[in-house]
Amino acid sequence: MKFGIQINEGPYQHQAADSAYQFAKAALANGHEIFRVFFYHDGVNNATRLAVPPQDDRNVGQLWSDLAKEHNLDLVVCIAAAQRRGLLDEDEAKRQGKDANNIAEGFRISGLGQLIEAGIESDRLVVFGA
Amino acid sequence: MATKKFMYLNRKAPYGTVYALESLEVVLIGAAFEQDVSLAFIGDGVYQLVKGQKTDGIGMKNFSPTFAALGDYEVNKIYVEKESLEERGLTLEDLQHLVWEDEDDDYAEKDSIRLVNRSELADVLDDQDIVLSF
Amino acid sequence: MSTLHTVNKSPFETNVLEICISLAKSGSTVLLYEDGVYAATEGTRAAVAIKNANGISFCVLGPDLQARGIEGKLANDIKVVDYDGFVDLVAGHDTIQAWL
């Protein structure tokens, strides 16, 4: 079955991104497909590659990057939410005249239409938030 | 693309957190996809529709006028839970009057807000394909 | 149509479980996870509300119970599932409604 996942909260403050990750891992292990993971609201903060959590803690963003690499997942960060919160990829940083970008490997920035499309194309949409 | 029933479930008050504003942004974008769209306001979500919001004093954007534009996007099924209003000492009179123009009825102006009780809302929610929660 | 409701808030913090139960149709399932698992513990008002909710099945996510040290306090009649079970619940219901 095809699942879409929406994540509404950033890492560490809430369990949402952790729960979504465990869910995604289990779904893939059980032979399901993940059409897309959409990061919205503060969920976009999962996509920074500049986070440096303590070594004895999990690195939530890295976990997603690794899972995406292993399973060729489509991790989409909402552009409107990302711009508000200072999450930029290389192209967007250039376009906005910013001196840096911070999107981790495996994530891409795109519009809200990608969330609606995930709802249309997936058999189930599961929302994780606070 | 197939048409699905999309429900935007709004349960949070405006301004204190960003959910209400960013939910509305999804609704506006989603309107372009020609799906069967409904919005529901329950719990503190009903506070989003209260008329007379003035945000000058808090330095935040007043996004409540956007609700009035939803009719132009053919988003005209806006369910408000009666019990949630009553618990908060509100009536329909306290909410914005949201309308849409029915092309098939000589552009007659019709109400977008449908006041429903909890069991009616349960039926509406049960009938959806996709529930987007904010 | 069958709906899976997910609740992730402590019943002592918000009344969302109560609202979820009052809006859930007979035949639907409620999954308690994250801080929502506290509702599944014996001796709480929430556990009584769960027992009285006819026609609705309740599940609780085991890893979240264990993480919080309350596995031994689980009320009867509430089925414990792991993440594989969470996935099966999602696949087995038509619509997923998250009570955030």
Q: What is the CATH number of the domain that holds A115?
A: 3.40.1260.10
Mean pLDDT taken over chain A: 97
Tell whether the model's pLDDT for residue B93 goes beyond 80. yes
- pLDDT class for C1, splitting at 50, 70, 90? confident
Determine the pLDDT at residue C76.
81
Q: Which domain holds residue C62?
A: 3-99
C96 — contact with chain A (CB < 8 Å)? yes
Determine the pLDDT at residue A30.
98
pLDDT tens-digit readout, A48-63 = 999 999 999 999 999 9
pLDDT tens-digit readout, C34-79 = 999 999 999 999 999 999 999 999 999 999 999 999 999 999 889 9
| Residues C76-83, mean pLDDT to the nearest whole number | 93
CB contact under 8 A, A125 and B4: no
List own/partner pairs for A58-62 with CB under 8 A and 24 or more apart.
A58/A18, A60/A11, A60/A12, A60/A17, A60/A18, A60/A21, A61/A11, A61/A104, A62/A104
- pLDDT class for A109, splitting at 50, 70, 90? very high
Determine the pLDDT at residue A4.
98
pLDDT tens-digit readout, B42-83 = 999 999 999 999 999 999 999 999 999 999 999 999 999 999
Mean pLDDT taken over chain C: 95
Tell whether the model's pLDDT for residue B130 goes beyond 80. yes
Please report the ipTM that was assigned to this predicted complex. 0.97
Kind of pairing between the strands at A33-39 and A2-7: parallel
Residue B72: exposed, middle, or buried by beta-carbon count in 10 A (0-12, 13-18, 19+)?
exposed
pLDDT tens-digit readout, B95-127 = 999 999 999 999 999 999 999 999 999 999 999
Tokens representing B36 are: 């069967």
Residues C32, C19, B68, B78: is their CA dihedral positive or negative? positive
Tell whether the model's pLDDT for residue B31 goes beyond 80. yes
CATH superfamily of B5-133: DsrEFH-like (3.40.1260.10)
Q: Considering only alpha carbons, which residue of chain A is nearest residue B21?
A: A41
How distant is the Cα of B130 from the closest Cα of chain A, in angstroms? 6
- pLDDT class for C21, splitting at 50, 70, 90? very high
Kindly name the residue from A24, A27, A78, A87 that is annotated as catalytic: A78
How distant is the Cα of C81 from the closest Cα of chain A, in angstroms? 12
Chain B: partners with 3+ C-beta pairs within 8 Å: A, C
CB contact under 8 A, B132 and A6: yes
| Nearest CA-CA partner of C95 in A4, A22, B86 | A4
Q: Domain of C22: which CATH number?
A: 3.40.1260.10
Q: Is A130 a catalytic residue?
A: no
CB contact under 8 A, C90 and A126: yes
CB count, 10 Å around CB of B58? 9
Tell whether the model's pLDDT for residue B40 goes beyond 90. yes
The percentage of chain A sitting over the pLDDT mark of 70, rounded to a whole number, equals 100
Residue indicated by tokens 């996942």:
A5
pLDDT tens-digit readout, A65-102 = 999 999 999 999 999 999 999 999 999 999 999 999 99
Q: Which domain holds residue A107?
A: 2-128
CB contact under 8 A, B133 and C97: yes
A58 — contact with chain C (CB < 8 Å)? no
Determine the pLDDT at residue C40.
95
Count of domains forming chain A:
1
Determine the pLDDT at residue A52.
96
Tell whether the model's pLDDT for residue B1 goes beyond 80. no
Tokens representing A44 are: 């976009």
Determine the pLDDT at residue A105.
97
Tell whether the model's pLDDT for residue C22 goes beyond 80. yes
